[in-house]
A and B are shown apart, each in its own frame.
Chain A
Amino acid sequence: MRPLSNPSSKRVSQQNFNGLTVLLLLAVLPHLPSFPLFLSGFCVFAAAGFLPFIRNNKIIQKLFTLLVVVALLLSLYFSFGNLLSGDAIRSFFIVVLVLKWTEAKTRRDALGLAFASCLLAALGVLYQSPFWGMLYLFVVVFALIVVIMSIQQVSSTKHRLLRKSSRLLPPALPIMVLLFLIFPRLNGPLWDLGIALGLPLSVMLDQNKDQRGIEKTLKPGQIKRIKQSDDTVLVAEFLAKVPYVSRLYWRGPVYWDFDGQQWAIAKDWNNRSKLLRTAYKSSAAIAQQMRINTPATEYNLRLLAHGERWMYALDIPTMTAPESFVSADFQLLSIRKTVREVNMRLSAYLDYSVGLVLSDQQRARALAWPEGSNPRLKELGLELKQHGLNSADLSSHVLGLFAQGDYQLNDNALAEPATQSLDQFFFDSKTGDVQQLASSFVMLMRAAGIPSRLVAGYRGGSIIALSDFVIVKKKNAHVWAEIWQTAGGWVRVEAKDAVVKPKVQSGAGVAEKPKTKPIEKIAAKTLDQQTLTTAPKKTVKQAAQPSQEADDWLVNWQKRLQGVFSSLQKWVLNYNPQRQSELLQTEQRERLKVSELLLTGLLLSVLLAACYLLLIFCLTYKNKDPVNDAFEQFCRYYAKRGLVRASWECPSYYATRLTQRFPQHAPAISTLVKNYLDLRYGPTERYHQREFVRQIKRFLAMI
């Protein structure tokens, strides 16, 4: 069956049109700032199609549309260069919507336009701050409801439309909150998920071939350049708990040689037979080299092709995989270059002190200082050497220098290839990238007589929510230092953490805290001292401010408002997968599983449904007549005893039937039925109603 409707009701009325115009303007609004000016002109030009002589003539309208689209495509091509770029598509979308607006005549057009405007508004939110974005979207949703409602209802007035639309929203809010909190959150972008699940997306996403990864030489600023890319390097699936991502170091080339500007690995490094000669071929051989015992972390590695030999296994690999070996520098290397995607199962010691002996030749290489480069750094190193500290104390001292020296990591800082670049970074600018930071650390340690080297690779990655996958991208590129301890064995030193406090990860799924090695402990101490010296000042400042304020009331309110805003920030604007698992689990032993999430969701939905049902019941219950209710109770009593009152049966007739059967009840029955008839059909007051209900109750209790 199809609806029978008036032909006229298929057309859009003027009132609907006004609403639609408002919605479209609302949707275009957030795009305007990021919009080239000529496109705004285009919108106005396209809007000219609304003029009656164009709008009412089909041929002129078609020509006009064609003209606008062709002109638009041309100008987009010349201004963006590529018609398929995101901005070009967005601009095209906006102008097309405006064109559609000019020719929309039927309800269907109007509905489509309203939905499309919603999508446009949603796109616009990406260019706004979270708070305003969210507020804006609420306005958009409200406008959408009003517009759809006005399209559906031809007869309603503006006032009634607004009232009805605002009535729809409140019952929707609890559902929104519930879904917001429990809907499984994934960390976008979506194709990460596809890559993690093994879809051949990396091929489709055409990675930038000209952007090169980590190479055999590390030129100044190279890591910074790699970091700008968003390409995926590898995906790891952890078989047990996922460690803190900040502890994941994906080991690439190990650089020994520094020429004052760039780091390099040995020239004949790529010689396979030589590599194999010094390689560790069994996990037992690697285990022998370990100086401390730590549990191994197992994972599956899926490495995308990058054309080099190293396989970016997690630092330090405990074993080899087919067609690969662990080199003397403890990297997992492939027998041939990785030109194809590789899958393997690996494990790693996340904390290590590795290597039993350091040959004289190696020691010399790890202490080498290029002639004439960075003299001030060398001088400082020599000065430190005179203190006679062991490697651990020395490195923590240097880290302390970094921590206290107000160094800043800034990937936008220019790294000019200069011979004294490290001097300049360490003493003058104090601003640079992670490569300069790690290099200056390594060189300072070398000058102080501690053998050290630089390792490049990737650090961290992003956990794909609700899974044990970690996806590592080129933007995770990193370099770090390794020093040879006085007692022997290479250990990793992270200079970056001294400068930038590592982010506190909550609920990322690790129960035990990582065992901090002695070096890091001392470094942490220096860090603590530093914060101790600076922190009190701040608190004093903060404490002083409120006391100066005369108006306590205002301060209280400010504080309260701040509280509201911070919780808004925490629970709404910055809500994320971590927060979600925090919310839904009291114990943070394990990461949230999809099944648990679904179960919680189901429970909460049932609870919510029960609330709604209760609400509906309460609302409808109020409408029931207490007198009728009581009389029905009375009838039910006798119905159980075989005298059912028929629906057509008059109460007085029913009463006579009752008295015939139960003569002992006769006086009560006649009084009650008389009262009932009085209340139903005579003039009544509320007082009598309650009295009647009480009478019925008393009667039923007595018999």
Chain B
Amino acid sequence: MMFKLQVRLTATGWSFLLLMASLLLMALHFNNNGLFAMCFLLAGLLLPVYWQSRKNINNIGFQQWRFDRVFAGETLEYSIELRELAGVQHDEITVAADIDADSAAISLNAVESKDLFIRLAKCKRGRISASPVSLMSDYPLGIFRAMISLSALPECVVYPAAVGQQPLPQSDHNENSHIKAEADTLSAIRRYRDGDKVTRIAWKASARSADLMSNEYDGAEELTAISLDWQQLDCEDDEGRLSQLCAWVLAADRLGLEYSLKLPNINYAVGMGIAHREKCLRALALSFLASE
């Protein structure tokens, strides 16, 4: 990525030059010193304008882009924190990128930090690939456009809209859950498995060995996990099914249940927790897409 500051002429700049040229021609033709003065004043303006447009975009520090998870149909909002470094005011700063989004220009006062937002309205399910972004400003007259590269917009996956009428499926006895109803006595200490509760981790035992260990209690009864299966859905279209599955994943996660996810081409085993949820949501987001 290039961090160099670029300044180039905008369309307004070209028309400004055109204005100057026509004034010069008029001045030469009519031998009018007033017109010469006007033309040269406009020409002289180019220098301070150029200088100011450079200064306006320079010396701004920035962090990485941040964004929240987003479901189809919602607005994806990227934000980046800009920090003023030079002790001067910066006006009308905005961003340029090759995406279909909008963003409001902001002004930075001396030694101020502010967030700059890029909003993508009505996102579609799927992957929004990473794209380079520049900080830019047409300040002060729009004759020059100064640009400097920012950190690129990160890749983002838009999950299916979490809607659906079907109730959460009942527990499936074929699937075994890691979660067990608690009993009183500790029966064994075994190696940690995905889905074990954090409170069950045997910290002392873990400290002695290289692996993480979990406590196992006696008399614990296995709960059954629920299975979120593509085949169970009575929806007709794929998007509707994906939306329903997404709603189920979120609901199960909220209820603290373990769940497995079965899609025509993907089969995730029972699990729970943030990583499992994200894995499932991601799979839902990217299923049946031409680009994948």
Residue-by-residue, is A119-154 near B (CB-CB < 8 Å gives 1, otherwise 0)? 100110110101001101110110001001101111
Q: With the chains together, A313 CA to B263 CA distance in Å?
A: 101
Interface of chain B residues 87 through 135 with chain A (CB within 8 A) = 87, 91-92, 94-99, 101-105, 107, 118, 132-134
Interface of A is mostly: helix
Q: Considering only CB atoms, which chain A residue lies closest to B133 in the complex?
A: A1
Interface of chain A residues 135 through 190 with chain B (CB within 8 A) = 136-138, 140-141, 145, 148-149, 151-156, 164, 168-169, 171-176, 179-180, 183, 185-190
B141 touches A149 (CB 8 A): yes
Asked if A662 lies at the interface with its beta carbon under 8 angstroms from chain B, I say no
Stretch from B21-29, B182-190, B191-199 contacting the other chain: B21-29
Residue-by-residue, is B5-35 near A (CB-CB < 8 Å gives 1, otherwise 0)? 0000000100110110011011011111111
In-complex Cβ contact of B41 among A133, A138, A186 (8 A): A138
Given A115-B19, A189-B29, are A4 and B41 also a contact pair (CB < 8 Å)? no
Nearest CB on B from A335, distance (A): 38
A2 touches B37 (CB 8 A): no
Q: With the chains together, A61 CA to B31 CA distance in Å?
A: 41
Asked if A635 lies at the interface with its beta carbon under 8 angstroms from chain B, I say no
Q: Considering only CB atoms, which chain B residue lies closest to A1 in the complex?
A: B96
A180 touches B36 (CB 8 A): yes
Asked if A412 lies at the interface with its beta carbon under 8 angstroms from chain B, I say no
Asked if B139 lies at the interface with its beta carbon under 8 angstroms from chain A, I say yes
Instruction: Return chain A residues, CB-CB under 8 Å to B107.
Output: 155
Q: Considering only CB atoms, which chain B residue lies closest to A125 in the complex?
A: B34
A183 touches B36 (CB 8 A): yes
Q: Considering only CB atoms, which chain A residue lies closest to B15 in the complex?
A: A115
A188 touches B31 (CB 8 A): yes
Q: With the chains together, A63 CA to B197 CA distance in Å?
A: 76
A125 touches B40 (CB 8 A): no
A171 touches B94 (CB 8 A): no
Asked if B266 lies at the interface with its beta carbon under 8 angstroms from chain A, I say no
Nearest CB on B from A1, distance (A): 4
Given A119-B22, A183-B40, A572-B33, are A1 and B48 also a contact pair (CB < 8 Å)? no
Q: With the chains together, A146 CA to B132 CA distance in Å?
A: 34
Nearest CB on B from A476, distance (A): 17
Asked if A7 lies at the interface with its beta carbon under 8 angstroms from chain B, I say yes
Asked if A574 lies at the interface with its beta carbon under 8 angstroms from chain B, I say yes
A122 touches B138 (CB 8 A): no
A175 touches B40 (CB 8 A): yes
B29 touches A188 (CB 8 A): yes
Asked if A264 lies at the interface with its beta carbon under 8 angstroms from chain B, I say no
B47 touches A172 (CB 8 A): yes
A119 touches B30 (CB 8 A): no
A187 touches B31 (CB 8 A): yes
In-complex Cβ contact of B132 among A1, A128, A148, A155 (8 A): A1
Asked if A377 lies at the interface with its beta carbon under 8 angstroms from chain B, I say no
Asked if A576 lies at the interface with its beta carbon under 8 angstroms from chain B, I say yes
Given A122-B26, A141-B41, A176-B44, are A1 and B94 also a contact pair (CB < 8 Å)? no
Number of A interface residues in the complex (CB < 8 A): 61
In-complex Cβ contact of B142 among A152, A179, A183 (8 A): A152
Interface of chain A residues 542 through 587 with chain B (CB within 8 A) = 572-576
Nearest CB on B from A138, distance (A): 7
Q: With the chains together, A172 CA to B96 CA distance in Å?
A: 30
Q: With the chains together, A233 CA to B229 CA distance in Å?
A: 98
Given A118-B19, A134-B34, are A180 and B40 also a contact pair (CB < 8 Å)? yes
Q: Considering only CB atoms, which chain B residue lies closest to A3 in the complex?
A: B96
Q: With the chains together, A111 CA to B104 CA distance in Å?
A: 21
Q: With the chains together, A575 CA to B36 CA distance in Å?
A: 10
Asked if A38 lies at the interface with its beta carbon under 8 angstroms from chain B, I say no
Instruction: Return chain A residues, CB-CB under 8 Å to B87.
Output: 623
Asked if B136 lies at the interface with its beta carbon under 8 angstroms from chain A, I say yes
A176 touches B102 (CB 8 A): no
Asked if A6 lies at the interface with its beta carbon under 8 angstroms from chain B, I say yes
Q: Considering only CB atoms, which chain B residue lies closest to A172 in the complex?
A: B44
Q: With the chains together, A180 CA to B41 CA distance in Å?
A: 9
Asked if B70 lies at the interface with its beta carbon under 8 angstroms from chain A, I say no
In-complex Cβ contact of A2 among B33, B35, B98, B141 (8 A): B98
Q: Considering only CB atoms, which chain B residue lies closest to A129 in the complex?
A: B34
B15 touches A111 (CB 8 A): yes
Q: With the chains together, A125 CA to B38 CA distance in Å?
A: 11
Given A1-B96, A152-B138, are A171 and B43 also a contact pair (CB < 8 Å)? no
In-complex Cβ contact of B28 among A148, A149, A190 (8 A): A190
Instruction: Return chain A residues, CB-CB under 8 Å to B37.
Output: 134, 137-138, 176, 180, 572
B118 touches A4 (CB 8 A): yes
B47 touches A175 (CB 8 A): yes
Instruction: Return chain A residues, CB-CB under 8 Å to B41.
Output: 137-138, 141, 169, 172-173, 176
Instruction: Return chain A residues, CB-CB under 8 Å to B118.
Output: 4
Instruction: Return chain B residues, CB-CB under 8 Å to A140.
Output: 38
Instruction: Return chain A residues, CB-CB under 8 Å to B251.
Output: none
Instruction: Return chain B residues, CB-CB under 8 Å to A190.
Output: 25, 28-29
In-complex Cβ contact of A155 among B44, B105, B140 (8 A): B105
Given A119-B22, A616-B51: 4 more A-B contacts, CB < 8 Å: A4-B97, A119-B19, A137-B38, A171-B44
**Can you pick out 21 interface pairs between chain A and chain B where the beta carbons lie within 8 Å of each other?**
A2-B98, A4-B103, A5-B105, A6-B105, A7-B102, A9-B105, A112-B15, A119-B19, A125-B34, A128-B34, A137-B37, A152-B138, A152-B140, A153-B92, A155-B92, A173-B44, A180-B40, A183-B36, A190-B29, A572-B33, A616-B51
Name B residues whose Cβ lies closer than 8 Å to a Cβ of A.
Answer: 12, 15-16, 18-19, 22-23, 25-26, 28-38, 40-45, 47-49, 51-52, 87, 91-92, 94-99, 101-105, 107, 118, 132-134, 136, 138-142, 145, 147
Name A residues whose Cβ lies closer than 8 Å to a Cβ of B.
Answer: 1-7, 9, 111-112, 115, 118-119, 122-123, 125-126, 128, 130, 133-134, 136-138, 140-141, 145, 148-149, 151-156, 164, 168-169, 171-176, 179-180, 183, 185-190, 572-576, 612, 616, 623
Closest 9 pairs between A and B when the two form their complex, measured CB to CB: A175-B44, A172-B44, A179-B40, A133-B34, A4-B103, A1-B96, A171-B48, A134-B34, A137-B38
